[in-house]
Amino acid sequence: DRVKKVEDPRAFAAVLHEDGIVKGLVEKPKEIISSLANIGAYFLDTSIFNIPLEISPRGEYEITDFVIHIAKNQVMYYSIAKNWFPGSYPWHLLEVNRFLLSQKESRVEGNVEEGCDITGPVVIEKDAFIKKGTTIRGPAFIGRYAKIGPGARIGRFSSIGDDCRIKKGVEIKDSIIGENTTIDHSCYIAHSIIGQNCYIGPETGTSEPLFDYNVKVVIKGKEIDTKTKEFGCVLGDDARVEGNVK
pLDDT tens per residue, range 90-135: 999 999 999 999 999 999 999 999 999 999 999 999 999 999 999 9
| pLDDT value at 9 more than 80 | no
The answer to whether the beta carbons of residues 161 and 144 sit under 8 Å apart is: no
What is the tens place of the pLDDT at every residue in 40-61? 888 888 888 888 888 888 888 8
The count of C-alpha atoms lying within 13 angstroms of the C-alpha of 111, restricted to the half-sphere facing its C-beta, is 12
Please report the pLDDT score of residue 80 as a whole number: 86
Amino acid identity of 217?
V
Instruction: Assign 19 a pLDDT band (cuts: 50, 70, 90).
Output: confident
* Spatial CA neighbour of 194 closest among 181, 204, 208, 209: 181
| pLDDT value at 241 more than 90 | yes
* Percentage of the chain exceeding pLDDT 70: 100
Integer Cα distance of 98 and 31 in angstroms: 31
Question: Which backbone phi and psi does 64 adopt, to 5 degrees?
Answer: -65, -25
Of the listed ranges 32-36, 116-120, 168-172, 233-237, the least confidently predicted one is: 32-36
Mark whether 92 is an active-site residue.
no
The single-letter DSSP state of residue 190 is E
What is the tens place of the pLDDT at every residue in 186-239? 999 999 999 999 999 999 999 777 778 899 999 889 898 888 989 999 999 999
Mean pLDDT of the chain, nearest integer: 91
| pLDDT value at 86 more than 90 | no
Integer Cα distance of 36 and 4 in angstroms: 5
Please report the pLDDT score of residue 106 as a whole number: 96
Return the higher-pLDDT residue of 127 and 77: 127
Please report the pLDDT score of residue 175 as a whole number: 98
Return the higher-pLDDT residue of 161 and 208: 161
The single-letter DSSP state of residue 151 is S
Please report the pLDDT score of residue 104 as a whole number: 93
* Dihedral (CA of 84, 88, 92, 96) sign: positive
Amino acid identity of 129?
F
Strands 222-225 and 111-112: unpaired
Please report the pLDDT score of residue 87 as a whole number: 79
* Spatial CA neighbour of 190 closest among 121, 91, 106, 52: 91
Please report the pLDDT score of residue 85 as a whole number: 84
Kindly give, in sequence order, each residue whose CB lies less than 8 Å from that of residue 96, ignoring residues fewer than 6 positions away: 85, 87
- Catalytic: which of 17, 69, 92, 185? 185
Where helices occur in the chain by DSSP H, the ranges are 63-73, 91-102
What is the signed CA dihedral for 97, 102, 104, 110, rounded to 10 degrees? 70
* Dihedral (CA of 175, 179, 181, 185) sign: positive
Q: How far is CA 54 from CA 23, 40, 64, 91, in A?
A: 21, 19, 12, 35
Question: Which backbone phi and psi does 143 adopt, to 5 degrees?
Answer: -75, 170
What is the tens place of the pLDDT at every residue in 139-160? 999 999 999 999 999 999 999 9
